[in-house]
Amino acid sequence: MTAYQEHRLAIIGAGVMGTNISALALGHGVPVVLVDLDEDVLATARKTIRQKLRHAQLMGVLPEGRPQGTLTTSVSLDAIADATTVVEAVTEVDKVKREVLTAVSRAVAPGTVLISNTSCIPIDEMAEWIDRPEELVGVHFMNPSYMIKMVEVIRGPRTEPGVLERAVELLAVLGRESLVIDDSAGFVINRLLHPLINTAAMLVQEGVASVEVVDGLLEGCLGHSTGPLRTGDLIGLENLVDSLNVLYERRGDESCRPCDLLLEKVRDGHLGRKTGRGFYDYGKVAS
């Protein structure tokens, strides 16, 4: 049995990150069970995953000669009972994550690795919600997960070394490079990135510079690959606001209080690439 055949991955949440991680795993030969509450959401997710797999193939980022994994979708957590690893990829809201992780920990056998794709909520805080806190580890996949090789892996204070090791082994099978850090609200990436995006939005809000100028300066002078505001559109502005709220509540840092322009865009449904409009107008809803 090859390394990728040893894994059975379950993913909870069929949104942007859930479909990204599914495409990554399937493209590396790992079977996936994708669970969400709504059959219509799952139907859309199946189409989105096919599109992402085609994109990954065109970009040459999938291993040659490895058959794709099989995708199963379900609205029932019963479908995850045989998983070797479960990835929680739901929205960055405490109540939602608590409900999902509590239910997942009761649906799987002891010894199953539980991964939260959290972007800001501390791992040890979430460990309080599950039956076996030592089996939880954080893995912060970037977007798009099948293109970006590096991942932030968060070791909670109660995470067993063997659980961390197995998570890193799975990520290696998926062709990802793990950088392991200790627990903290926002971890490394988002403690740096999200206040930057918020400040960039404040500069636009205050009329200091246009969206294009703010991004252009960060790209041209500091080497930021896409600019912070275009990055915010890729993340999803509602996800960004949720994460900023987590950071502000736990750290009290004013740079993390979502600015009025961000809140206005979320209220208006202008969430970024996924809705066709955020800080930029994309002309149509991004697939």
Q: Mind listing the domains of the chain with CATH numbers?
A: 3-182 (3.40.50.720), 189-275 (1.10.1040.10)
Beta strands in 52-158 (DSSP E): 71-74, 85-88, 113-116, 136-140, 150-155
What pLDDT is stored for residue 286 in this prediction? 45
Q: What's CA 139's distance to the chain center, in Å?
A: 8
pLDDT for res 15 = 93
- pLDDT attached to residue 284: 65
Q: Is 13 left (phi over 0), alpha (psi -120 to 50) or beta?
A: left
Q: pLDDT value at position 1?
A: 63
The C-alpha atoms of residue 44 and residue 195 are separated, in whole angstroms, by: 32
What pLDDT is recorded for position 287? Answer: 44
What distance lies between CA 113 and its chain's CA centroid? Answer: 17
Tokens of 119: 């972007």
pLDDT by position in tens, the chain (length 287): 677 778 999 999 999 999 999 999 999 999 999 999 999 999 999 999 999 999 999 999 999 989 999 999 999 999 999 999 999 999 888 999 999 999 999 999 999 999 999 989 999 999 999 999 999 999 999 989 999 999 999 999 999 999 999 999 999 999 999 999 999 999 999 999 999 999 999 999 999 999 999 999 999 999 998 999 999 999 999 999 999 999 999 999 999 999 999 999 999 999 999 999 999 999 865 44
pTM reported for the whole predicted model: 0.88
Q: What is the Cα–Cα distance from 222 to 71, expressed in whole angstroms?
A: 41
